[in-house]
Amino acid sequence: MKPDHPIESRAPRRSERLRQRAAWMYFVEEMTQSAIADALGVGRVTVVRMLAEAKALGEVRIALSRGHAELGGLEAALCTTHGFDEALVAPLSSTEADATSPIGAVLGEYLSSLLRNDMKIGLGWGRTLNRSLEHLRERSLRGLNIVSLVGGVTHFAHDNPAEFPSAFARAFNADCYLIPSPALVDSPATKTALIERCGLRGVYDFANALDAVVVSAGSLGPEATIARYEVIGEADRRALSELGAVGEMLCNVYDHDGRVLDHPLNQRVMSVPMGAVRAAPIRVLAAGGIHKLAAIEGAIRLLRPTTLVTDEVTARRLTGIPI
């Protein structure tokens, strides 16, 4: 066998890819060393060695690990198929793995690089966006303004998914503008009163000239954030599904063609109008999971994102590339 001759742009060897895959599973997907050994078909001692090597070589940074995951072709296919300016794909350990943490890791790294002084950025909320917080590169940015795009929840047990905008603002020492109301109010009249007579008009007006928006998309199933936090009840979700609804964005329920349904529920949502969200020059959609495929497809048509952050299994389904 001829010895390897290093060249500047050589493809990573299988041992490197295996090591970086193990590091991703351990540090991002939080799998045990035994589970990683089973997934990769190696011994646990080998996993321990690879993790130590990855740390010594500085490969545990998400950007570096993801860069060697050979997903560039899949990202290019997403851009070609759907017209994105940019697509970022998080690798998964298996087709059944939960994509929330991997997508959050990639999103945190991406947003850390995106932010600049004097930006005005609108944020949604949810589990996927929340998981990006621990991967942000915290620093102070001059003139950065964060705007919440939707109201919050009225009940939670452990973590509050609506805290994402304020936590994000703290990471960058930014000013934060919130919509201090439930995401869904009891009537259109209440919504109008809150905006026009209770001090929220300023926040809505401020959100009319955003530089960027970052949102996710949710399904209407029992596992969805809006279901777990009792934003939209089961009966309403079932009725909306019968009308063709496939998902929600900022608690606005839409169909597979990306049309917000003409339904009384959508008239009670305390969110910045979708027209203002779509007007932002940078529109980031972060969502994944096969169970949300229809919701993601509808969200792409609704938002027309410039950047998609998703997982490799969902990306293959969105492009028709075999898994």
Q: What is the mean pLDDT of each run of 10 residues along the chain (323 residues)?
A: 38 72 83 89 88 80 50 90 95 89 94 95 94 92 96 69 88 94 94 93 92 96 80 89 95 96 94 96 97 97 98 95 83
Angstrom distance (rounded) from CA 273 to CA 205: 11
DSSP string, 69-116: SS-HHHHHHHHHHH--SEEEEE--SSTTS--HHHHHHHHHHHHHHH--
Which pLDDT does position 9 carry in this prediction? 39
Query: Positive or negative, the Cα torsion across 70, 7, 110, 171?
Result: positive
SS3 30: coil
CB of 297 closer than 8 Å to CB of 318: yes
- For CATH 1.10.10, list the domain ranges present in the chain: 14-56
Judge contact between 20 and 91, C-beta under 8 A.
no
* Residue 283, SS3 per DSSP: strand
Q: Are 53 and 277 contacting, i.e. CB atoms less than 8 angstroms apart?
A: no
At residue 158, the pLDDT reads 62
Express the helix, strand and coil content of the chain in percent, nearest 5 each. Answer: 45, 15, 40
Q: Where in the chain is the domain with CATH 3.40.50.1360?
A: 71-319
Strand, helix or coil for residue 136: coil
Beta carbons of 148 and 123 less than 8 angstroms apart: yes
Domain 14-56 indexed as CATH 1.10.3470: no
In what order do the strands lie in the sheet containing 282-286?
86-90, 307-311, 282-286, 212-215, 120-123, 145-148, 175-177
Output 30-34 pairs: Cβ under 8 A, ≥24 positions apart: 30/101, 31/93
Task: Please enumerate in sequence order all residues whose Cβ is within 8 A of that of 139, keeping only pairs 6 or more positions apart, or say none.
Answer: 172, 173
CATH architecture for the domain at 71-319: 3-Layer(aba) Sandwich (3.40)
pLDDT of residue 22: 86
Q: Please state the pTM of the whole predicted model.
A: 0.79
**Structure-block tokens of residue 291:** 């169970």
